[in-house]
Amino acid sequence: MSEQALNPTPRIRCNYCERRIHASSIVCPNCQRNPRAFYWKRWHVFVLLGIAAVLLIAAAFWYADDLRALVPTGLALNPTVTPTATRAPVAVVLVATPPPPTATRVPPTPTRAKTATASPSLAATNTLTSTRVTRVPQQTETPSPIPTVIPVAAPKLVSPTDGERVIGANKRIELQFQPAQPLGAQEWYRVEVNYLDREGDAVGWCDFKDKSPFEFPRNYFDESSPNVRSFLWRVNVVASNQIAPKTCDAPYDILSAASEVWTFYWY
């Protein structure tokens, strides 16, 4: 029985190609993309367009009365022209008559009108009172410095190089890398290799060592997909309470960022 069958690993489904891969994978070995990222799909766009259409129709029914109120009632869409009757011009003859004699008017004696003496009105004066605002100086609290965590530098991959082709089922494959710094107590180098099994599902292989290089088991040549021969591998530094962790589901704490993800092909 293989090591993968004895130690089942948790899996997730890639959001891009929807294939099942190992839960700790950061790159899908099938589509070479981030499995946890969000990707727009065709049915996403159709759903959004359908929701927008439903909202527009609902808004049209809801605000139908308000839209009718905005249109003037006196306006007609198709105004009809009403014929107006034209009247014939009428000739008016003016006859000038001499004015009648007018009597002489006696000019009236001018009378002085009494002017009303306006008494000065007392305007109410508003007294402005200035108020002085005293500001109490506030004591500024000095923030306590937040401790910054200095992560361990990520290891650098050496071989197999990215894109290298390995020929032969019995070929010895050593995953070699350059450590950034020596390990401490209960610290390990965790190597993870992602590939496709014979059924086309994404699986992962993990191992914990205290030095480089790692030897990739040869029996995984027959357990991998015969069509897709790509193997993605990476290394990072972790801390584990176990004496000798082996499988991918062993408990550990990440101490460094993961190295670059390189791919080798095994034919």
pTM: 0.44
The per-residue pLDDT for range 28-87, each reduced to its tens digit, is 988 888 888 887 777 888 999 999 999 999 988 888 877 777 765 544 445 555 555 566
Q: How far apart are the first and last CA of the chain?
A: 23
User: Domain with 175 in it: what CATH number?
Assistant: 2.60.40.10
In a domain, 229, yes or no: yes
* Domain assignment present for 65: no
Exposure class string for 209-227: b at 16+ Cβ within 10 A, else e: beebebebeeebbebbbee
What is the DSSP code (8-state) at residue 23?
A: T
Q: Report yes or no on 104 lying in a domain.
A: no
Q: How many domains does the chain have?
A: 1
Strand partners, 216: 173
Query: Which domain, by its residues, includes 185?
Result: 152-266
Write down the pLDDT at residue 127: 42
What region does 174 belong to: left with phi over 0, alpha with psi -120 to 50, or beta? beta
Note whether residue 254 is domain-resident.
yes
pLDDT digits (tens, 9 = 90+) for 126-136: 444 444 544 54
DSSP line for 30-74: TT-S-TTS----HHHHHHHHHHHHHHHHHHHHHTHHHHHHHS-TT
Residue 162 lies in a domain: yes
- The answer to whether residue 257 sits within a structural domain is yes
